[in-house]
Amino acid sequence: MSQDNNTAEDVLSGEDLNKAIRELETQFENDMPHSKPIPYMGWFWRTVNFDADRCSFGLCPNGTGKPPFVAFMENNKWGYSSITIDGNNWNAIKAVLQVAARERTLASVRAAYDAIQALGANLRSTGDCEDENGFDATLWEKVDV
């Protein structure tokens, strides 16, 4: 991911970033996989707390032996596995989203999408099981890539 060297005045608030992402969804929905330029689980973009020091992402199976589809998941009614990122990884995701929100180009949106997908690049599905709530859960293992 590229470094984002903006001043504090250039950084969108969490509320404005959520608004911009909703607008990107409409602008680029036909240009990206799953019709979701900024990947999320569900039928619509749910507000993300970009001021938090961490964020959970859902892992949706793409088939055994393949990396998952990684997406924001503010409501896990499907019982998907998740990962939580913080620190430099979370800051890097927020930075690339800031760039996409300001530039509003297909290239900047693809960069944000790819950065989010990279969070699951070293995970592979090893099969399914039923979790303690009766949901089908996917088993994941880390691999060298």
DSSP 36-68: -SS-BSSSSPPP--TTSSEEEEEEE--STTSPP
pLDDT: is 7 or 84 the higher one? 84
pLDDT at 134: 46
Domain of 135 in residue numbering reads as 8-142
pLDDT at 47: 96
- Tell whether 2 is covered by a domain: no
- Tell whether 85 is covered by a domain: yes
- Tell whether 108 is covered by a domain: yes
- Tell whether 3 is covered by a domain: no
Indicate the average pLDDT of the chain: 83
| Residue pair 136/79 in contact by the 8 Å Cβ criterion | yes
Q: How would residue 29 be classed by pLDDT, with cut points 50, 70 and 90?
A: confident
pLDDT at 80: 83
- Tell whether 124 is covered by a domain: yes
- Degrees to nearest 5, angle at CA 15 with 45 and 90: 75
Q: What is the pLDDT of residues 54-81, one digit of tens each?
A: 999 998 877 667 788 899 999 888 888 8
- Tell whether 83 is covered by a domain: yes
* Predicted TM-score (pTM) of this structure: 0.81
Q: What is the pLDDT of residues 96-130, one digit of tens each?
A: 999 999 999 999 999 999 999 998 887 766 555 44
- Tell whether 33 is covered by a domain: yes
| Residue pair 95/4 in contact by the 8 Å Cβ criterion | yes
- Tell whether 65 is covered by a domain: yes
- Count the domains in the chain: 1
